[in-house]
Amino acid sequence: MAKTSVMTEAQDIQLAIDLIRLGARLQLLESETSLSRERLLKLYKELKGASPPKGMLPFSSDWFLTWQPNIHASIFMNVYRYLQRHADVDGIQAIMKAFRLYLEQVDPVAEGEEPVLSLTRAWTLVRFIDHGMLSMARCDKCGGHFVVDRFDLHAHYVCGLCHMPSRAGKTRKAREQTALQAAC
């Protein structure tokens, strides 16, 4: 058994606490810290008052390419890349800072909802881009950079904001709000 320093263990515990507060899944915690699964489970239960969610992590890059998730993933990735280039942070610290800034911009708490992009999905997105499964392309109309499939053709790329799908925004919640407004 390898010896770990008290300082390293304290840093891992603090990192795990920060990640849990941001909504990280157990698999992400195991990957980013050197703490045992048992310690992470105890820490998670202590902070959240419940066991961590079970199940597999998202593994398909297709989720990031659908209309609404693509916009949110692109916001996150642009913030993440900016922090890497200009704030001299990288790795999990850059992901955490970019995710906090993303949350400030989308402010799901004000709308009483969960954010479209979770920390675990953001972490997965960075891994997909780092491993070449996804990339970023510049929109010819607005000039923004958006998450795209690396193997698609990107000449004359137009993003989902400049060319919205016909059913964009037609969720059940939007229909219910429209019905409430019409009734009033």
- Alpha helices by DSSP H, listed for 4-142, are 6-21, 26-32, 37-48, 67-86, 91-106, 108-111, 119-130
- Same-domain status, 41 and 71: no
pLDDT at residue 184 is higher than 80 = no
Q: Establish if 179 belongs to a structural domain.
A: no
Give the residue numbers spanning the domain of 111: 61-173
**Measured distance CA(41)–CA(43) in Å, rounded:** 5
Q: What is the pLDDT of residue 40?
A: 94
| 100 & 12 share domain | no
| 169 conformational bin, left if phi > 0, alpha if psi -120 to 50, beta if neither | left
Greater model confidence, 71 or 60: 71
Mean pLDDT of 163-173: 70
Q: How confident is the model at residue 1 (pLDDT cuts 50, 70, 90)?
A: very low
Mean pLDDT computed over 31-51 = 93
Position 73 scores a pLDDT of 96
pLDDT in tens, 65-109: 999 999 999 999 999 999 999 998 999 999 999 999 999 988 766
Residue 134: other Cβ atoms inside 10 A: 22
The arithmetic mean of pLDDT across residues 44-57, rounded, is 87
**Higher-scoring residue by pLDDT: 177, 143:** 143
**66 and 44 together in one domain:** no
Q: Is 112 left (phi over 0), alpha (psi -120 to 50) or beta?
A: left
Which residue shows structure tokens 């911009």?
A: 105
Conformational region of residue 164, where left means phi above 0, alpha means psi within -120 to 50, and beta covers everything else: beta
Tens digits of residue pLDDT in 99-157 = 999 999 887 666 667 889 999 999 999 999 999 999 999 999 999 999 999 988 888 99
**DSSP class of residue 154?**
-
* More confident call, 31 vs 2: 31
Is 182 inside a domain boundary?
Answer: no
Q: Residue 136 belongs to what H/E stretch? A: strand 134-138
Joined tokens for residue 117: 């992009």
In a domain, 28, yes or no: yes
Nearest to 119 by CA among 45, 20, 49: 20
Domain count, the chain: 2
Q: pLDDT at residue 176 above 90?
A: no
